[in-house]
Each structure stands twice: as C-alpha cells, then as structure tokens.
Amino acid sequence: MNKQVSFKDLGLIDYKKCWDFQEELFAEILTVKSSNRKEDKTVATKNHLIFCEHPHVYTLGKSGDEKNLLVNEDYLKSRGATFHKINRGGDITYHGPGQIVGYPILDLDNFFTDIHKYLRFLEEAVILTLKEYGLESERSPGETGVWFDVGTPKARKICALGVKSSRWVTMHGFAFNINSDLSYFGNIIPCGIANKKVTSLEKELEREIDFEEVKNKVKTHLIELFEMEII
C-alpha cells in the first residue's frame, strides 16, 4: 500500500479549471489500476490532496434538484457567481473566497476500502480543528458534514461534504467555511436541507480568522487520521 500523498495548495482557482485537474489525476489513478488488473501487475497508484479556494460558484451534485438554486442566471452574474452541474454526490452547495476547499484524490486501496469511514475521517479532521478553537461540533444523523447544535432550532452547518468514488478512487471532497461571505448561501437551499442555517468559523468566534493557520490544522489532522506521508 502506498500512503504517500502529493499535496498541492492551488490558492484561488476557477472551479472548472480545478475540476478538470481533479478529473485528470482521477483518471490517471484508474488507468494504473486497470492496467494492474489486466496485466497482473502491482504498480503503485498515486494519491493527491488539493487545497484551494474558488471564486463565487454554486455546484449541483448528480442527485440534486436544480430548484434548490433560488435565483436566475442574471442574478448570478450580478453577484459575480457561476453555476455548474457536476458528478459528485449530494445536492447544491456554494464555494467562495474565505472557504477551505479540500479535494482528496486517493486510491483507498492504499488506506482502507470503506467509503463510510472515509467520509467520517474528513468530518473528523474538521471536528478536531474546531476543537482547537474551543468549539464543540458534531455530526448530524443522516446528514453528512460538520454541524453545531444538532437537534435544536439553532442547528447550523460549518462544513459540507460531497464526493465521488470509482473502484475505491475518490475525488471532490469538503468545503469548510472560515471567513466566508454567508450571504451567498441565501441564494440556495444548501445541500437541499431547508430550515437549517449555515455558519463560518469567523461568525462563531466573532473575529476574522487566520486562514493559513486553519488550513495547516486541517491538513495536519488529515495526515494523522489517514496516516499519510506527504510528499
């Protein structure tokens, strides 16, 4: 098993450009796995972890409902936002500046072949990071992501998840609101879940957050949970 992971922080990058990059890395891993199977080889597959931010964009998962986008194309343009239908699971979500977006492109054959465990580890990295800021977050039964005050009228999500996997290779990932402009979430029913709010680390702590510091904490927890060797 190869637990080496190539890490790249792409900074602020156009959503479609980053999606194409993910697809390229994803396809490369699948090609190696297919060749190994056909030719009875054991060439090691690569793993990647991408961190980035995106300009304002809404993305709709393959099982999502376009009605959860509450505004039209003209309004999106007026807010400098774009919209993409994509091939991950989940419904609609928002990405924008001030949000840590993480895309692990891993061959889970190198770690563990359990998608449920994979999702829980992504959530756990965020939960452990929030704990470092004195915040107790949790999971919501039947709903992915990381939340506060589950089961109360104050329930609110701080991190959304949406992934794709094929033959144990993953892509897409998580979006963790740090210094996000939360007004953009008002244009959608986030993740198709009505009557629940969205929050950010900045809002919870009532101060602007050191973005790079949070990225480093999340990265550290992912490394520890997955037992990655970053290269």
Q: Which residues belong to the active site?
A: 191
How many angstroms separate the CA atoms of 166 and 95, rounded?
A: 24
Cross-strand bridge partners of residue 100: 176
